[in-house]
Amino acid sequence: MSKGPRDKRMTIDEVVGDLKDGMTIGIGGWGPRRKPMALVRAILRSDLKDLTIVSWGGADVGLLARAGKIRKLVFAFVSLDSVPLEPNFQKARQEGTIPELVELDEGMFQTGLRAAAQRLPFLPMRAGLGSDVLVNQPGIRTVTSPYAGPDDQHEELVAVPALNLDVALVHLNRADRHGNATYLGPDPYFDDLFAMAADRCYVSVEQVVDTAGLTVDTPVQRLLLSRMMVTGVVETPHGAHFTTCTPDYERDERFQRAYAAAASGTDEEWAAFHDRFLAGDEAAYQAAVAAFGEEQA
C-alpha cells in the first residue's frame, strides 16, 4: 500500500546540519532578490568552511566572503542594485581573501546550470567568444561544431562546463510539506535550474500551505519546483530579508544602507553590526531587524 508523498519539512539547523565542509553550494535568487538569507545566515553561524559558492550574487556572497567561508566562488556579478558592488565582496576582492574566483558572463552561467541540469559535461554557446572571460578563465575551452553552416564553415563555440552542485538553496513564496513550491512575484529567476543542477535541493519559503492552496488564486504555471526536485522544505517567514520577496515584501532599503555602511566601514563598525544582527539565531535576527525598523520610523 502506497504511503504517498513524504513530509519533507525541516528546520534551518537541520538543513545546515546536512551540509559538509568543501561542498559546492548553489544559492538561488538574483543579486538582492529572493535570496535564501535565513539559510545563508545559518551557514554564517556554523563551522562550515572551504565552500564553493555558485551564485548570481548579492549579500549571500558578501556575508560568506566576509566570514571566510568561501574557498572558490563562481559568479556572474555580486551586487545589491542600489549599491552597485556588494561591499563585503568588494573588500574580499581587494584583499584577495577568496582563494579561487571564476567570473562568467551571465548567459554562460545560465548555460553551465543547464548543462548540469541535463547531466551533460558542457553545453556550447557563442557568448564569451572574443571576450576576456576566456582570457581570465583559460580552463574554459572552445569546441568546433561538427556541422557545417550555410557557408560550409564549422563554427567555433565556447564549451561552457557544467556547474554541478552538491546542494542548492533557494527561497520561494509558498510550498507544501512535500516540496512542491511556487513563486508569486514577477520573475522565477533560475531557481528551478539550481534545483535540477544539484544532488540535493533545500527550499525555504514564507509559508508552508496545503497542496491545494498552492494554486488558489495563483496560475498553475507559477508552480516552479516539484517535490521530485526538493529534498527539504523550511518555513522561514521573512527568510529572504533584506532582499525582495515580492509580493510578500520588497527590499529593505534602510537596512541595506546600514549593512553597506557597516561593510564599508572599519572592522569595529562591522563587528558592531555583526554583534547586533548576526551573532544570534534567526529569531534574534528578526527581532533585531524589527527593533531597527522601529528606530528608523
- pLDDT of 220 reads 67
- pLDDT of 221 reads 73
- pLDDT of 1 reads 43
- pLDDT of 163 reads 98
Spatial separation of the C-alpha atoms in residues 195 and 199, rounded to whole Å = 8
Residue 265 identity (one-letter amino acid) = G
- Tens-of-pLDDT digits for all 297 residues of the chain? 445 679 999 999 999 999 999 999 999 999 999 999 999 999 999 999 999 999 999 999 999 999 999 999 999 999 999 999 999 999 999 999 999 999 999 999 999 999 999 999 999 999 999 999 999 999 999 999 999 989 999 999 999 999 999 999 999 999 999 999 999 999 999 999 999 999 999 999 999 999 988 877 766 678 999 999 999 999 999 999 999 999 999 999 999 999 999 999 999 999 999 999 999 999 999 999 999 999 987
- Return all residues near 173 (Cβ < 8 A) that are at least 6 apart: 182, 183, 184, 185, 205, 206, 207, 245, 247, 248
- pLDDT of 222 reads 86
Q: Shortest CA distance to 48 belongs to which of 10, 22, 26?
A: 22
Give the torsion sign (CA, 235, 294, 244, 247): positive
The DSSP secondary-structure symbol of 33 reads B
Per domain, the residue ranges of the chain are 12-105+163-296, 127-161
Report the CATH fold assignment for 12-105+163-296. Glutaconate Coenzyme A-transferase (3.40.1080)
The count of other CB atoms within 10 Å of the CB of residue 27 is 27
CB distance 78 to 58 below 8 Å: yes
* pTM score of the predicted model: 0.95
- pLDDT of 114 reads 98
Cell 557563442, residue located: 126
